[in-house]
Amino acid sequence: MAQLAQALTRIQSLKVLVLSECSLSEKSIHHLAYGLYNGLGSQKFELRTLILSKNLLSKEYQEVNNELVNFVSLCQSLRHLDLSQTGFHIDKLWPALKLGGLKIEHLKLGGCQLGYSHKKHKEENAKTVRELFQSMIGLRELDLAGTPLNSETLQQILSGLANNQCIKELHLNLDATLTADKNCASVLEQSIATCPVSFLSMRDNALEQDALKVLSAIGTMKQLKCLDIGGSNLQALKSSTKKYGDMLARTLQEIITLISDEELVRDIDWRVVAHCTYMQPIKALEEVSLSDCHLGAHLNVVLNALGITRVKSLDLSGNEMGREKCTAEILMENIG
C-alpha cells in the first residue's frame, strides 16, 4: 500500500480515489494517508474525491486518524470526503476541515464516532464545530446517519448552518443519530427551523412523544422540499394507543399539516379528517416518506387527507395497510 500511495500521487490527472469496502487494514490506510499527505507537496496533485467508506478502523490505531487528519487539513482541492462506516473519531476531524475542508461539497460521516468526553475538550470542540459549519462555502450534503451525536455537537452543527450565508439547499441525513442523547430532540426542535436544508432525513430516531414538537418545527422550514421521517419513530405511540392515543392522533395531524395544500385546507372539516377542531395550514412539501413506520390502520388518517395535498411523491411502503379494498375506497373518496 505504501508503494501504491506513492504511485497515486504521481498521477497528476488523478481526481477521484475510491477504496470503499476493500477490507483495508489500519496499516494500509496509514500508508495510504501518509502517501497522499506527502503528495500534497506537488502543486499538480489535486484530489477532489476520497472515499474510504466501510473500512472499519479500530479504536486503538490512532495513527490512522492522525494521518488522515493531516491530509484533510491541507488538501484544499477536496470536494467529496466519505468516511462512512469506518468508525472514525470525527472530533479530530473538525479542526482539520476548518483548515482545509471549507470547500467540501459532500461530507459523509455516517457510522463514525465522537471521541472527546472531557468537559474542556467538549467546549473547545463545540466552538470549532460551530465555526466550521458557519464557514463552509459549498456544502451540499452532510450525512451523519448512524453516528450517535450528543446534544452539544448537534446544537453547534445546526447553529453553524443557520448562520451560514453561503449554503442554500443542503441535503441533511440524521438517520439514527439522536437516540444516544435524549436532549437531541429538543435541540432539533429549537434549531432546525432556520437551517438552509432542502432535504431532511430523520429515520429511526425513536422520536415518539417528541415527534409532535419536532414536526411542528420542521413545518416552519422555508426551504424544505423533501422529508423522510420513516422507520422507528412512532413505534411506542402505536403500540400503546390506550396511553398515547391522543399524542399519536396529534402527531398524525401534524404530518397532515406538512403535506397539505394551503388553499384547499381552509374548506376541510377536520373533525372528519383527524378528529380535531382546527389546523394551521402551512406550505406543502414536494416529497414525504413515512415508509416502514408500521402504522397500520392509523395511516387512514393520512389517507383521508390526500385530497388536500399537493405532494408529488408520498412513500407509504412498509406500513401494514392491509384491507386493500378499504384503502382503495379511501383513496377514491379523497383523490377523485
List pLDDT tens digits, range 149-171: 999 999 999 999 999 999 999 99
What total of structural domains would you count in the chain? 1
- Whether residue 36 lies inside any domain: the answer is yes
Report if residue 190 sits inside a domain. no
Number of helical H runs and strand E runs in the chain: 13, 10
Tell me, yes or no, whether 182 lies in a domain: no
Domain containing residue 1: 1-75+89-103
Q: Cα-atom radius of gyration of the chain, to the nearest Å?
A: 23
Amino acid at 62: Q
**95 domain residue, yes or no:** yes
Q: Does pTM top 0.85 for this prediction? A: yes
At 283 the pLDDT is: 64
For residue 165, the 8-state DSSP code is S
Pairing, β 197-201 against β 226-228: parallel
pLDDT tens digit sequence for 20-56: 999 988 888 888 888 888 888 776 788 999 999 999 8
**Which pLDDT score, from 0 to 100, does residue 80 have?**
98
Cβ-contact 121, 90 below 8 angstroms:
no
**Per-residue pLDDT reduced to its tens digit, 82-95:** 999 999 989 989 99
How far apart are the C-alpha atoms of 167 and 161, rounded to whole Å? 8
Asked if 309 and 259 touch (Cβ cutoff 8 Å), the reply is yes
pLDDT at 2 over 70: no
pLDDT in tens, 179-221: 999 999 999 999 999 999 999 999 999 999 999 999 999 999 9
> For residue 181, what pLDDT is reported?
93
Write down the pLDDT at residue 70.
92
Q: 20 in a domain, yes or no?
A: yes
The pLDDT assigned to 238 comes to 84
Identify whether 32 is part of a domain.
yes
* 5 within domain boundaries: yes
pLDDT, averaged across the chain: 85
pLDDT computed for residue 98 by the predictor? 96
Cα–Cα distance measured from residue 131 to residue 103, given in angstroms and rounded to the nearest whole number: 14
End-to-end CA distance of the chain: 63
The mean pLDDT value for 286-292 works out to: 93
Query: What single string gives the DSSP state of each residue in 312-327?
Result: SEEE-TTS----HHHH
Instruction: Retrieve residue 33's grid coordinates.
Output: 494517508
Helix (H) or strand (E) holding 42: none
Degrees to nearest 5, angle at CA 205 with 94 and 288? 100
Q: Are 33 and 64 in contact (CB under 8 A)?
A: yes
Q: Measure the CA dihedral 168/174/175/176, to 10°.
A: 180
Does any domain span residue 4?
yes
